[in-house]
Structure 1
């Protein structure tokens, strides 16, 4: 950091909610020239897992990334082949690089996603050509639920899944889902009147848009359905989010075939594009639903530096983390935690939504790519038999 004044720059990533030990140190290098940054990286950056952040000349965090080998990944930004790519543009704007080692690639992946959501660095979420921005597919918004997109996990929702990538594609999917399930997509200022609601005056309620007349909305604004009837559609939509309902696919396929049979090729083309968006959503929902059903256990992850961790997964989400107990005293001290974990896993898994809901996608992708890692998983009640004795043998040797 001798090349830059650090008076107005703040370094570090803050508290790591996935680290059960004392905070890990932050290493920082800085320079006005790329060659200076590269030289310092060669001298000090290790070949271990971790997360890194790029800061611009104002001291703003502009990008966060992770790697199973920090040194290799960071030096790749200086490759001549990347000058015109995203990596080259990021490094051109970088004056300071900081990194935090992590005990494993899995730990680095969780930390990276947490940091992106905490800081929303501009090169992670905007200004990057061809980058697909993550969004959540939500069901909710007030007393008359509808499908909508949110860049972050909202504070109030009926059901949620994600993240998904590609805002344009997801906007098409949301529009189609609201039509298939006949849910409203109007403004929050719209006044709703269900058919069973009493009124002092015999008024004719008119729909706020054409969707009711087109048959793609139940008409909760025009007293065209009861609240119970509308929520039957909401329940079907929620089932789709859980990965158990392929009604939208069937409806769109039938619509596309009908349009093609009637030689309405332009309409068939539009439906085909919509169908592709829904198919992407359904594939992702199916993957997440499988993760929710299968991944409720303790995942033991060894650390390269001896910082081994146990991650509690419930319904596919990371719910808690603890340092792997080594030795009798550490294991006995952890028994209350293991008992608590066992109680948590006895709960339902279909709508967990713990403190880190975004970890569901991470976990699902991780075990899909690293199937053998499932051999490191176990139920809390197996901890003594399967891992405690192994740790004792390791300590004795």
Structure 2
């Protein structure tokens, strides 16, 4: 990618028609119709919006034609005190750069638009001495050590994760949760101000700790009130992680067995509860399996055509772009390219994970790009190079 254009500082310090007129003149004078990304900046230089286009000049000029207070483009422009832009090698490169800038800056308008237009959530595995599983709204949730999603059916996802937690004994709460006064199906899993010093400390600690409704109902191991066996709890957390990684269906099988046992013992109410949990956990299992199947298909080289018919190669491994280079044209460039390909695709993934937590959004960008553009899918190649004939 080319270097970013110089930052445009325009006064006066508030958005007025005269201010926007100066911005318009600068865009007309400096921006070309190439693929690229742009950043709208607030009065202190904070990035408030990031966008991209394959025809950057036309896209930026469209902001100045926007009318009405409810028009998103007009609303963003009213808060823009400066504009930055940079060009990309290809349209795909512009999309990728836009995503990475949004993840870097988390601009106000980008975040609000995603929340308004596409409610979504992720399943997060949390770390620490008492790991847990819960639903989070952001792909960069600081408590997550592993993340899966996003899922669009957020309400059903919450029910499925609650069912998974209840069937394994894992907590789906945070240590900061407090009493909310709502039913167990609607409220938090933990109904007290947790005391971390009581975790797995035995009966003496439990006698001094506040209670946990979930533990009393038998749907949580109760580690935050000092209950349960830490070794057994860690094994359950490992099973849930393997389940979400797509390596096992053990929670499904255990629920099936428990439901049949309850039915055989004529405990039909218990069997009905287990049946409902089983349906939710099976739904989650199917979504997880679908996710990992898609991941496996997104490993290839993508040979895209950019400006002046220049060919650029994107090395994609398990749905994330690991490198972007111009297609080799000489023997020396070919040798360097072969070394890069070997580093990216051979051996274990250097990230140590199927999909790094911070790259989930990139995975869905790549998947969406090729799903919507069948002609671009034809420009993909097997990941490893075929040796040239002697």
Which residue is equivalent to 2:169? 182
Alignment pair present for 1:318 and 2:313: no
Which residue is equivalent to 1:209? 212
Which residue is equivalent to 2:222? 219
- CA distance in 2: counterparts of 1:378 and 1:180, whole angstroms: 44
Unaligned runs of 5+ in 1: 1-18, 255-267, 387-397
C-alpha offsets along residues 306-341 of structure 1, whole Å, 9 cap, x if unaligned? 553322222222223333212222112333223323
- CA distance in 1: counterparts of 2:28 and 2:146, whole angstroms: 47
Alignment pair present for 1:23 and 2:9: no
Q: Match for 2:379 among 362, 376, 381?
A: 376
Which residue is equivalent to 2:292? 289
Please state how far the C-alpha of 1:165 moved relative to its aligned partner: 7.0
Residue aligned with 2:102, SS: helix
C-alpha offsets along residues 90-141 of structure 1, whole Å, 9 cap, x if unaligned? 1111232221111112111111111112122222224888255776532022
Normalised TM-score (structure 1): 0.68
Structure 1 residues 132 and 29: CA distance shift in structure 2, 3 A? farther
Please state how far the C-alpha of 1:56 moved relative to its aligned partner: 2.7
Structure 1 residues 114 and 292: CA distance shift in structure 2, 3 A? same
Structure 1 residues 354 and 133: CA distance shift in structure 2, 3 A? closer
Please state how far the C-alpha of 1:247 moved relative to its aligned partner: 6.2
- CA distance in 2: counterparts of 1:304 and 1:104, whole angstroms: 7
Give the root-mean-square deviation of aligned CA atoms: 4.4
Structure 1 residues 303 and 121: CA distance shift in structure 2, 3 A? same
C-alpha offsets along residues 13-45 of structure 1, whole Å, 9 cap, x if unaligned? xxxxxx5xx635457585753344345434543
Aligned pair count reads 342
Please state how far the C-alpha of 1:186 moved relative to its aligned partner: 4.3
- CA distance in 1: counterparts of 2:68 and 2:3, whole angstroms: 33
Structure 1 residues 325 and 36: CA distance shift in structure 2, 3 A? same
Q: Match for 1:48 among 34, 38, 41?
A: 34
Deviates more, 1:179-188 or 1:323-332: 179-188
Alignment pair present for 1:144 and 2:159: no
Residue aligned with 2:216, SS: helix
Unaligned runs of 5+ in 2: 177-194, 260-272
- CA distance in 2: counterparts of 1:141 and 1:304, whole angstroms: 46
Which residue is equivalent to 1:337? 340
Q: Match for 1:61 among 43, 47, 56?
A: 47
Which residue is equivalent to 1:71? 57
Structure 1 residues 139 and 350: CA distance shift in structure 2, 3 A? same
- CA distance in 2: counterparts of 1:150 and 1:173, whole angstroms: 16
Which residue is equivalent to 1:391? none
C-alpha offsets along residues 339-396 of structure 1, whole Å, 9 cap, x if unaligned? 323424688996242884542222222222224433222234335659xxxxxxxxxx
- CA distance in 2: counterparts of 1:82 and 1:344, whole angstroms: 55
Deviates more, 1:361-370 or 1:282-291: 282-291
